[in-house]
Structure 1
């Protein structure tokens, strides 16, 4: 995917699962290390980004220490970053700490003649996804108030099945309500999410639907139960064009994970 100076460039990262203390590991993986490595590769390999979109599960056991480390890392890249909550996150604490001029939890951002709308699909206390009436109303208001802007919608949980039975029990349970709104607004061009720890390219009518890989361990696509694999961590690039078209592709680190414990029953 070649860079075009007339387009807007978004870096989507997801599911970093940063732990409370530096050097701690999750399933044998130093999530801090790979989070840093993914960001370093993305910024070294591509022209400047207009926005970083961080689609949830920033922290594995969320607290001030890991959110502060995430903030310090992101601020160093001097690029606006929007952070969404995942099922592992503490959204209230995120909003408190990730609240600077560059890094925030803002829910609507304008880039040229595009708007990026971030929705909270978190159901506190469970891994499942749902969009509350408040979130759906917010989406409708954003789209209705700016009918001349193309729209990219972001959330943590997936809104279309990915053919992994265990994972699909956690998708946005009222996705039909989401698409009922989207179908009334033809300027919506794509929906992107995290949570699935794998790349996905789907469609809902004319709307592109994308899943992003994790910056740490990945899940086996189309698996019947939780299966982690050493596929390299990665990120998604999204390019938005002034005519409403858009392109996206996934890039990964050059080497598989090292130290991954694949015999896990959970994480």
Structure 2
């Protein structure tokens, strides 16, 4: 197993810093196309010259160590700093793919130790300092998410420094208007929002999980979700449905003025 060391601080002499959020790869030895789809999105992201790659979970189905080895080798090869966190599929083996969803079995598996539990990355620009706080919302054997007390304390401690902050996790902490996936959002979202309510420096929350693109404002904080590199889910549907829109990633630009802009870039169908 390759050792992964995540950066604590990144410096930029530019007025802005670009983050490419890539999510829900679902890499699987049983689906060779999943690797091609990820590489196509990564290639597109690299054309925008990001300063950081942020992978927000569901990276590898069934926790296969050799597939993580492949993924981390690809990321290291880019020469760009990266952060990787777990999603539910990274800590859960789904048994019975050919069965109706409610007849499948979900078995807990250990999280690959190279995936982040909590991590603080400081980004120093010439006239502003930002921080990215990464927390693990994945629960072994479950589709829904939850932040444990340690993660909530981590957020509270680091938000108290009043730096402009981006929070990254897998599960969405607010409904996005698709009843079936909203059932599996962050279960203790109320605790999460109460933690943030004490502070005014959280600028954005970046999530995966929904395989859809949403930009919402919740309690004065931007909540942005990311398209998947695998299949896309149709938005605003109470029942599960696949969308034919292309895969993509979210590009985030932070700047000296403590402001943030974001957009979604997609590969061609």
Which residue is 2:262 aligned to?
248
| Alignment correspondent of 2:142 | 126
Structure 1 partner of 2:17? 8
Q: Which residue is equivalent to 1:109?
A: 121
Task: Give the RMSD, CA atoms, in angstroms.
Answer: 1.8
Using the alignment, how far apart are the partners of 1:216 and 1:122 within structure 2? 19
- CA deviation vs aligned residue, 1:20-52 (integer Å, no higher than 9, x gap): x3xx32xxx7110010000011112x1x22211
1:154 maps to what in 2?
Answer: 168
Q: How does 1:82-101 map to 2 (within 5 A)?
A: 82-90=83-91, 93-96=111-114
The residue number in structure 2 matching 1:32 is 35
Partners of 1:208 and 1:52 in 2: how far apart? 20
Match for 2:159 among 122, 143, 152? 143
1:172 maps onto 2:181 in alignment: no
User: Does structure 1 retain, via aligned residues, the 8 Å contact 2:228–2:248?
Assistant: yes
Secondary structure class of the residue paired with 1:53: strand
Residue aligned with 2:89, SS: coil
SS in 2 for 1:223: coil
- The structure with the largest strand share of the pair is 2
SS in 1 for 2:62: coil
Report the number of matched residues: 236
Match of 2:216 among 180, 186, 202: 202
Could you tell me how far apart the structure 2 residues matched to 1:197 and 1:122 are? Answer: 16
- 1:172 is displaced (CA, Å) by 0.7
Q: How far 1:92 moved relative to its partner?
A: 5.3
Provide structure 1 residue ranges, at least 5 long, that are not aligned to the other structure: 99-103, 256-267
Could you list the per-position Cα deviations for residues 213-260 of structure 1 after superposition, in whole angstroms to 9, with x for gaps in the alignment?
0011000001111112221100000111122210000010111xxxxx
Cα distance, 1:173–1:93 mapped onto 2, change above 3 Å: closer
In structure 1, the residue matched to 2:105 is none
1:94-144 CA deviation, whole Å, 9 max, x = no partner? 324x6xxxxx77611011111100111112111011111111011111112
Distance, in Å, in 1 between the alignment partners of 2:110 and 2:15 is: 37
Is the 2:57–2:170 contact (alpha carbons within 8 Å) kept by the matching residues of 1?
Answer: yes
Q: Is the CA contact (8 Å cut-off) linking 1:234 and 1:253 kept in structure 2?
A: yes
Aligned pair 1:76/2:72, yes or no? Answer: no
Task: Please say if residues 121 and 156 of structure 1, whose CA atoms lie closer than 8 Å, have aligned partners that are also in contact.
Answer: yes
SS at match of 2:173: coil
